[in-house]
Amino acid sequence: MTSLLHASKFAALFTIFLSASISLAQSETSVAQSTDPATECTDYNYAPVDNEIANFPPLWQPADIVPTDTVALALWNSIEPGVPNIAPRGTITGNETGVVYDGATDPDCWWTATQCTVPKLSGLPADISGVPEPNTLGYGFDDGPNCSHNAFYDYLTEQNQKATMFYIGSSVMIWPLQAQRALNDGHEICVHTWSHRYMTSFNNTGAFAELYYTMQMIKLATGVTPTCWRPPFGDVDDRIRYIAHALNLTTVIWKYDSFDWEVGLNGITQATVDANYQNLVNNATAGAFSTAGVIMLTHELNNFTMSEAVTWYPQLKSAFKNIVPINVALNRTHPYVETNYTVPTFAQYVSGTLTTSSNGSASSTSSGSSGLQSPKSGQSGSGSIRTMSTGISASVLALAAGVVLMAL
């Protein structure tokens, strides 16, 4: 991966962030129902998040442990002694100039160098790079929540289709009600780090913070704490896996890449992305996944990536026997730390039970979870109005903008 690739993707993510207008309050209902991007992407105030901003790293800035966060520090101190002695490599933007690594022996199972998914460090589980169920697509999208995702999520609802959403902590902080919609619609939520940088470039506390604070922000916004994560750009090694595993996070990679986010770079065009989707369809039709299923990398990044997902969904549905969220394919019925929230088994899902209630009882509704965990005190539930007098301020936006300019 090159710095140019990272900068372009990060710029696209930040463009979504900057599309917000300042200091206009919204309701969760209006955020979930509007399909006008100008309305969807209007900034709003949400007390549970606004009141906790000081306890999280700055938006889009590479994370580290907040000095006053005694809970995070105590947890890190319990994890640190076991972290393998593997040095950070490259930069947060993916510049690997001068990095020397023996790809032949691949001592650290560095995915970026070798696509290794079976750790060399004893005691670590293998990455999830496919799904065990035959003729099955583990369906998911990176880089959300996108503030203008309603038309896409509406389409998934119309198709009775659930997916796994890999959310960036900084995006959840800006768009908490969009994150709530994912859970209310019955999608699974996983971690995609705080600032979307190359994880193996971080020191130990930075890598911990990128994961930990994203988990905490998702909990703050939605009421659930994920137990799965995906490294941006797939950049993970055994040091990062160890930290993630210590945080009870399963590492999820992929085998097929749509390259949907890369359009406009290195000669990648829409035709390239279409060809990548078609290749997956052709392989599925030819029986390549007759013994085990597959995961393809796709994104909620922008209108193009979401439109491509909609365009190709009918072909994917025809080519695969089943399209299911990743945790469903793995029969992980408790995808969150909060064990009262359950998702269906694979057998339940493919027979029509798309969600289950918070106490585990089955429900064949297609429009969302029938029993979310009760929000924490002060947090709004589905459809409620939540406003406050102060929101994410222009000064926070300006700070984040300055950080981005320095990072690109």
Q: Please count the structural domains in the chain.
A: 1
Q: Is residue 141 part of a domain?
A: yes
Give the pLDDT score at 369.
Answer: 32
Average pLDDT over residues 250-256: 98
Average pLDDT over residues 345-367: 70
Q: Is the pLDDT of residue 31 over 90?
A: no
Least confident of 25-34, 58-67, 159-168, 333-342: 25-34
Task: Determine which one of 142, 143, 185, 235 is catalytic.
Answer: 142
Q: Is residue 341 part of a domain?
A: no
Label residue 35 by pLDDT band (50, 70, 90): confident
Q: Is the pLDDT of residue 131 over 70?
A: yes
CATH number at residue 147: 3.20.20.370
Label residue 12 by pLDDT band (50, 70, 90): low
Q: Is residue 375 part of a domain?
A: no
**pTM of the predicted model, to two decimals?**
0.85
Q: Is residue 364 part of a domain?
A: no
Q: Is residue 357 part of a domain?
A: no
**SS3 annotation, the chain:** CCHHHHHHHHHHHHHHHHCCCCCCCCEHHHHHHCCCHHHHCCCCCCHHHHCCHHHCCCCCCCCCCCCCCHHHHHHHHHHHHHCCCCCCCCCCCCCCCCCCCCCCCCCCCCHHHHCCCCCCCCCCCCCECCCCCCCEEEEEEEEECCCCCHHHHHHHHHCCCCCEEEECHHHHHHCHHHHHHHHHCCCEEEECCCCCCCHHHCCHHHHHHHHHHHHHHHHHHHCCCECEECCHHHCCCHHHHHHHHHCCCEEECCCEECCHHHCCCCCCCHHHHHHHHHHHHHHHHCCCCCCCCEEEECECCCHHHHHHHHHHHHHHHHHCCEEEEHHHHCCCCCCECCCCCCCCCHHHHHCCCCEECCCCCEECCCCCCCCCCCCCCCCCCCCCECCCCCCCCHHHHHHHHHHHHHHC
pLDDT tens profile 197-214: 999 999 999 999 999 999
Q: Is residue 360 part of a domain?
A: no
Q: Is residue 284 part of a domain?
A: yes
Give the pLDDT score at 316.
Answer: 98
Average pLDDT over residues 292-301: 98
Average pLDDT over residues 305-325: 98
**Is 299 a catalytic site residue?**
yes
pLDDT averaged over every residue in the chain:
85
Q: Is residue 214 part of a domain?
A: yes
Segments forming the whole domain that contains residue 195: 3-96+108-335+383-407
Task: Determine which one of 187, 192, 245, 299 is catalytic.
Answer: 299
Highest mean pLDDT among 34-38, 85-89, 377-381, 382-386: 85-89
Label residue 266 by pLDDT band (50, 70, 90): confident
Give the pLDDT score at 26.
Answer: 54
**Is 245 a catalytic site residue?**
no
